[in-house]
Amino acid sequence: MLDNLEIKNVLCLDIETVPQYATYEELPPDWKDLWTKKILWKLKDEATPSSLYQGAGIMAEFGKIICISAGFFFLEDTVLKFKVKSFYGHDEKILLGDFCKLLEDKFSDEASNLCAHNGREFDFPYTARRCLVNGIKIPQVLDNSDKKPWEVKLIDTMGLWRFGDYKNFTSLNLLAALFGIQSPKDDIDGSQIWDVYWNHKDLERIKIYCQKDVVTVGQILLSFKGMDLIKEENIIFAN
């Protein structure tokens, strides 16, 4: 599988997002109305716009990116290694600008690929949309406009695992277990990001969680290619 993919041309990534505001009550009045219309179909039983607002981070119109972790493969003395760098902070425009500069500087040629788990439905479009909102030029590798399907360089490990079966959602954690990879969810999971960010103000903890996810994406990609997993001592964190 993926026999023609050169691993050193792949940048694995994972993003963490939160709502723009800590609570629904802090939303400007016009945005409260926009939020209510957006989630109207979910308003049943005891659900209210306020009670559903913690989930606003998954929507690019109402959320923001607080961390992007990116990892790439390289050979050192014939040993395959994986280096991870994170872009994180409260100012989305700054972290996005820094990340996009990395893409333009290092992953802008035709051979470059981005890889994420559920990336085609979340990480890739979310990042591109937030670039537009922040007035940042979308890096070539992320910009799908006017591209033919075979020109798109976005790899989705969940999409690969589906093998065309669109009924199936398989979590990163489940794939990790299947391939004998250490779970990235040994501290927190995605459902806790809102609390860790808004209540505990712990960006470092979120960064570490995001880095674990991107390492797992890299290991799963290696598994799909039938390659050995990278040993822990050969995983390098730039931050």
Q: What is the residue-averaged pLDDT of the chain?
A: 93
Sorted by where each starts, the structural domains of the chain and their CATH numbers stand as: 7-20+62-227 (3.30.420.10)
The pLDDT of residue 111 is 85
Global confidence as pTM: 0.94
User: Which residues make Cβ contacts (< 8 Å) with residue 68, sequence separation at least 6?
Assistant: 13, 14, 15, 16, 86, 87, 88, 95, 96, 99, 127, 210
> Residue 156's beta-bridge partner residues?
116
pLDDT band of residue 166 (cuts 50, 70, 90) is: confident
Residues 192, 183: Cα–Cα separation, whole Å: 16
Residue 191 has pLDDT above 90, yes or no: no
Contact present, 34 and 224 (Cβ < 8 Å) = no
Residues 20, 139: Cα–Cα separation, whole Å: 23
Residues 178, 176: Cα–Cα separation, whole Å: 5
Residue-wise pLDDT for 10-66, tens only, equals 999 999 999 999 999 999 999 999 999 998 887 777 788 899 999 999 999 999 999
